[in-house]
A and B are shown apart, each in its own frame.
Chain A
Amino acid sequence: MSLSGVEFVGQQAVAAEAAEDGTRIEGRSQWQLTWRRLLQDKVAVAALIVIVVMVALAIGAPLFVAITHHPANTAYPNTGETVAGNPVPPGTAGFWLGTDGTGRDLFIRILYGARISLFVGFVTTAIGAGAGVAVGLIAGYFGGIIDAVLARFTDAVLAFPYVVLALALAIVLGPSLPVIIAVIAFFSWAAIARVVRGQTLAIKEKEYIEAARSLGAGPFRIMFIDILPNLLAPVLVLATLYIPTAVVFEATLSYLGLGIQPPTASWGNILADAENFYQVAWWYIVFPAAALLITTLAFNLLGDGIRDAMDPRTERVLAGVRRRKNRKKTALIDNVPGVTAGEN
């Protein structure tokens, strides 16, 4: 078996071979193996590229302003609007994706919208993941009354009609970026906390946790050094899958006028404005909607890819490799006279 063949057989086989001949095969961590499997998944790689491009565009937004000389909030009533006061189509007068209802550069506004959307998506997910992990670990590890209280609170948050509460909070506190982030983050931790709690309950019964306790490790050391590394995989998958939810949530609030306030651009409020022009300016609604769709789709596909790559039982990618190999072997056997290919 060739070296490159060995590495796809799976961790156990690698381990066995490595144990026998000592140094030939370098031990790989779970993360290295996951990364390798992820790179085998074309859909996930494409999604990752889309996300990287989207992030780069969002970060590089000022650069495009410098190129087009169209600041995000500047209206161009002369070049950016038709005589009737409608948006101009893509490609007109240096507006790559046309203009919006008030004669602003749509491309630049979508880029600035991406900044808001991705920022909200990443920040709320990070806060939610951190809080979810903390709540889940504490509830699962300590159990008893602490668990009962935290678990019921988690269930309550999950059961809450969050759009209604978000709308109410946005109205009461006034729409602003911190309020949006706080509202979205508040609803993001519960799902992660529930999964982490369940996993913690399972892991804390393992013998290695008992071993850590017998060595004198305290509860926080056990939670963060012994249990947490075993939870990173599901948390990472959940977090990746939550980012698009947060992005859509922000877009929804902004669309309803309770999120990012004009003139600051956000995909949600661009779409809300575009509604008035859908009969005369298709680009005005299609491009921001496409940006939202592509971004959320990419995150979802990447999340699925990571989940598959994390789970060593996933044979999808490996099966493809093996099939190709078998085909080659069969072809070789066919070429040898007197030997029939009936092995596989």
Chain B
Amino acid sequence: MSTAEDSDTLVTVENLVKYFPVRTSGLIRRTVGQVHAVDDVTFSIPRGKTVGLVGETGSGKSTLARCIAGLIPITSGRVTFEGRQISGLSRRAIRPFRREIQMIFQDPYGSLNPRRRVGAIIGDPFAIHKTATGAERKRQVQELMERVGLNPEHYNRFPSEFSGGQRQRIGVARALALRPKLIICDEPVSALDVSIQAQVLNLLSDLQQDFGLSYLFIAHDLEVVRHVSDSVAVMYLGRIVERGPKDLVYHSARHPYTTALLSAAPAADPDAAASRQRIILTGEVPSPIDPPSGCRFHPRCPKAQPLCSETEPLLEVKAGDAATHVTACHFPVEAGENLAVAGRNELP
């Protein structure tokens, strides 16, 4: 989407590509292939909104997040923040943007240094950016701890003395310390119990309102994404296959992969679950080192036609859809179409 960057857009990602070279081991390391982790991804994150990113393990969600956060260099494409390019900058040049873009990580146990006290962990952003020292830093850290629902008296504790949910709050406090505009949440609740998930999600939504934050929210749990997102992008093998406002993607999905994902998600209502046709996808996710020709989903797609293996579908507005809802499919799913039946017919 290379539309005009209006003031409501915080981050735009244009044609972002990230390949990881596959090298032989040993002294002389030849490159024998590329992992197509993220391939030509374009989308934008509006100010103060939440963009959900869903997809299976290995679809490139986390890689995309790290590319946007500037943690790994991108192969090609462009990331801009408030109209200024941030991709391809040196470590020094990207430093001011670190304050604007922060991350919350998936593993509340792995993302906090076990040998450092909570006060030091949350105080790190202040120390690195030299914004507060000594007693002032401590005061600000304790204020943050209170804001995310931690007891400020636990300033001198180690991460191991907290539960998973509390640790994730520590991670939130650390991300919040520099008052960023965008927080990239990389599966922030997938390692937590369901009851704790709700608490952390509510905290994130409160903070969004208070500080006008934008979120890029990555998850494989469709219900969580539905709960927090304003718009949703679905990734498959490094590409966005469908993107649009939450309600449109969830209620009138056009891409067969999205439809299959939605049908596989567990439903809270058993009656609804029983009446629903589950689409069983055959086969495995193909290797991202050697992605399928044409549409990357075609080997597993119940609606695949010869065209699908030849021509790559573009992400575009399909007939009858809103202008904000785009799908990359030659044969989009029509309302009321039963893919489960189509899928079974494909089986030998």
Q: Contacts of B69 on A, CB cut-off 8 Å?
A: 214
Also in contact, A230 and B95, with CB within 8 A (given A12-B160, A214-B71): no
Q: Contacts of B174 on A, CB cut-off 8 Å?
A: 211, 215
How many angstroms from the CA of A229 to the CA of B98 in the assembled complex?
25
Q: Contacts of A19 on B, CB cut-off 8 Å?
A: 161-163, 166
Give the contacts of A88-122 with B (CB-CB under 8 A): none
Q: Is A213 an interface residue (CB 8 A)?
A: yes
Q: Contacts of A216 on B, CB cut-off 8 Å?
A: 94-95, 98-99, 125, 128-129
Q: Which residue of B lies closest to A148 (CB)?
A: B27
In-complex Cβ contact of A217 among B66, B114, B128 (8 A)? B128
How many angstroms from the CA of A22 to the CA of B98 in the assembled complex?
34
Q: Is B84 an interface residue (CB 8 A)?
A: no
How many angstroms from the CA of A161 to the CA of B174 in the assembled complex?
51
Q: Which one of B150-158, B204-212, B231-239, B252-260 contacts A?
A: B150-158
User: When the two chains form their complex, are residues B151 and A208 in contact, meaning their CB atoms are under 8 A apart?
Assistant: no
Q: Contacts of B101 on A, CB cut-off 8 Å?
A: 214
Q: Contacts of A225 on B, CB cut-off 8 Å?
A: 116
How many angstroms from the CA of A16 to the CA of B163 in the assembled complex?
7
How many angstroms from the CA of A214 to the CA of B124 in the assembled complex?
11
Q: Which residue of A lies closest to B66 (CB)?
A: A210
User: When the two chains form their complex, are residues A206 and B110 in contact, meaning their CB atoms are under 8 A apart?
Assistant: yes
Q: Is A262 an interface residue (CB 8 A)?
A: no
In-complex Cβ contact of A207 among B107, B115, B116 (8 A)? B107
User: When the two chains form their complex, are residues B71 and A210 in contact, meaning their CB atoms are under 8 A apart?
Assistant: yes
User: When the two chains form their complex, are residues B151 and A15 in contact, meaning their CB atoms are under 8 A apart?
Assistant: no
**Chain A interface bracket (under 10, 10 to 19, 20 to 34, 35 or more):** 20 to 34
User: When the two chains form their complex, are residues A207 and B110 in contact, meaning their CB atoms are under 8 A apart?
Assistant: yes
**A168-208 interface code vs B (CB 8 A; 1 in, 0 out):** 00000000000000000000000000000000000000111
**B191-209 interface code vs A (CB 8 A; 1 in, 0 out):** 0000000000000000000
How many angstroms from the CA of A22 to the CA of B113 in the assembled complex?
22
How many angstroms from the CA of A11 to the CA of B107 in the assembled complex?
19
Q: Contacts of B113 on A, CB cut-off 8 Å?
A: 206, 208, 212, 226, 229-230
User: When the two chains form their complex, are residues B98 and A210 in contact, meaning their CB atoms are under 8 A apart?
Assistant: no
**Chain B interface bracket (under 10, 10 to 19, 20 to 34, 35 or more):** 35 or more
Q: Which residue of A lies closest to B91 (CB)?
A: A218
What's the minimum C-beta distance from A153 to chain B, rounded to whole angstroms? 15
How many angstroms from the CA of A226 to the CA of B91 in the assembled complex?
18
How many angstroms from the CA of A225 to the CA of B241 in the assembled complex?
42
User: When the two chains form their complex, are residues A27 and B158 in contact, meaning their CB atoms are under 8 A apart?
Assistant: yes
What's the minimum C-beta distance from B284 to chain A, rounded to whole angstroms? 26
Q: Is A30 an interface residue (CB 8 A)?
A: yes
Q: Is A335 an interface residue (CB 8 A)?
A: no
What's the minimum C-beta distance from B262 to chain A, rounded to whole angstroms? 30
Q: Contacts of B163 on A, CB cut-off 8 Å?
A: 16, 19
Q: Contacts of B156 on A, CB cut-off 8 Å?
A: 27
Q: Contacts of B71 on A, CB cut-off 8 Å?
A: 210, 213-214
B95, B106, B156, B157: most-surrounded residue (chain A CB, <10 A): B157
Q: Is B214 an interface residue (CB 8 A)?
A: no
How many angstroms from the CA of A22 to the CA of B128 in the assembled complex?
30
Q: Which residue of B lies closest to A228 (CB)?
A: B115
What's the minimum C-beta distance from B293 to chain A, rounded to whole angstroms? 34
User: When the two chains form their complex, are residues A215 and B161 in contact, meaning their CB atoms are under 8 A apart?
Assistant: no
User: When the two chains form their complex, are residues A211 and B111 in contact, meaning their CB atoms are under 8 A apart?
Assistant: yes
Question: What is B's interface to A at a CB cutoff of 8 Å?
Answer: 66, 69-71, 91, 94-95, 98-99, 101-103, 105-107, 110-116, 124-125, 128-129, 151, 153, 156-158, 160-163, 166, 171, 174, 178
Given contacts A229-B113, A230-B113, 11 further A-B contacts (CB under 8 A): A19-B162, A27-B158, A29-B158, A30-B115, A208-B110, A210-B71, A210-B103, A214-B98, A216-B95, A217-B128, A230-B115
3 closest cross-chain pairs (CB), A and B: A216-B98, A229-B115, A207-B111
23 A-B residue pairs with CB within 8 Å: A15-B158, A15-B162, A19-B161, A19-B162, A19-B166, A22-B151, A23-B153, A27-B161, A29-B158, A206-B110, A206-B113, A207-B106, A207-B107, A211-B103, A211-B105, A211-B112, A214-B70, A214-B71, A214-B98, A216-B94, A216-B129, A217-B128, A229-B116
